[in-house]
Amino acid sequence: MNYLPLRKDLTEGKRKCYFCGRQLTSLKAFVLENVVTKEEVFSGPKCAQDNISDEFDLRLMPDLTVFTLAFNLDIEGVRKGRLSSSSASAIQKDIDYKKAIEYIELRENKLLKDLNESYEPLKNYYLKYRMLGRLDEIEIQHITNIELKTKPSLKLVNLQKFYNHLFWINIAISLLGERANDYLVPIKESLCKYRNITEAQKNGVNKWLKNLDGIPQLK
């Protein structure tokens, strides 16, 4: 197969699967990279499974969507993947691997400009992952240790939440235009400054989002 699995990512619902042309209505998509052209394409789970090598497991792809409520997500295509073993230690290794890749994907790619917190070892691991599609156990452990010792605003769970909230606030601002200036734009500025929003701010954003067709509530 000619594609590397990169990540499971958010999409605004208008994008279609590169392979079969079906609309990706779940708001979540699998992003693959053409190994020859380096083009990134968006895919549904079934087509993603059909177009990657058997050496890769979709369930180990970094998932950047955990703080977005999905619409009609079909996971059947992911169940064909295999894990290395059913033992508890092997399962934990798989979990550690997935979280480590999520961390470098968010910190060194998706949120690089917003965070301005690039870290040379993480950057090097990310570049290697993009080149080879995998990292070894020692590298994964090093990433895990870096995340463990970092400040709260740079913990994985906070970056996940930050990314999901920022994605949908940006979509809402683009749809609302000037109407977003009084509330959503200041909320975005606050989110980028503090890398978090309060529960009251989240509830306020959701009041806007619920009136926008196809836009989910913040989780």
pLDDT classification of 53: cutoffs 50, 70, 90 = confident
For residue 49, with 0-12 CB atoms within 10 Å meaning exposed, 13-18 middle and 19 or more buried, which class applies?
buried
Residue 115 has pLDDT above 50, yes or no: yes
Count Cβ neighbours within 10 Å for each residue of 4-31 and write b for 16 or more, e otherwise: bbbbbbbbebeebbbbeeeebbbbbbbb
Tens digit of each residue's pLDDT (9 = 90 or more) over 62-112? 999 988 865 444 433 333 333 444 577 778 888 899 999 999 999 999 999
Q: How far apart are CA 15 and CA 126, in angstroms?
A: 26
Higher pLDDT, 91 or 37: 37
List, for residues 145-202, the tens digit of each pLDDT value. Answer: 999 999 999 999 999 999 999 999 999 999 999 999 999 999 999 999 999 999 999 9
Percent of the chain at pLDDT exceeding 70: 91
- The better pLDDT of the pair 87, 214 is held by 214
pTM of the full predicted structure? 0.86
